[in-house]
């Protein structure tokens, strides 16, 4: 979902910034819940993937560990 919207929304737009802030906030809250054992690592991974898809990682190979 976020990946498809990323291409349609300019990174300079207010909507992109709002989505980025929302995803970052969700990541922080999700991580806190993970540390408190309220969610598992799979739930946290889903949250982090949404944030990662919004971030500009051009030139970075996501499959390289």
Under 8 Å between Cβ of 16 and 10: yes
Q: Which alpha helices (H) appear in 1-65, and where do they start and end?
A: 2-8, 14-35, 41-54
Q: What is the pLDDT of residue 8?
A: 56
Residue 56: predicted pLDDT: 85
In whole angstroms, give the CA distance from residue 52 to residue 27. 10
pLDDT attached to residue 5: 52
What does the pLDDT read at residue 33?
98
**pTM summary value:** 0.71
pLDDT tens-digit profile of 24-61?
999 999 999 999 999 999 999 999 999 999 998 776 66
Question: What are the tokens at 20?
Answer: 């980025």
């Amino acid at each position: 979902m976020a990946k498809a919207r990323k291409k349609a929304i300019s990174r300079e737009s207010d909507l992109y910034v709002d989505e980025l802030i929302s995803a970052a906030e969700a990541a922080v809250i999700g991580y806190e819940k993970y540390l408190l054992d309220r969610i598992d690592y799979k739930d946290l991974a889903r949250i982090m993937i949404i944030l990662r898809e919004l971030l500009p990682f051009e030139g970075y190979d996501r499959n390289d560990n």
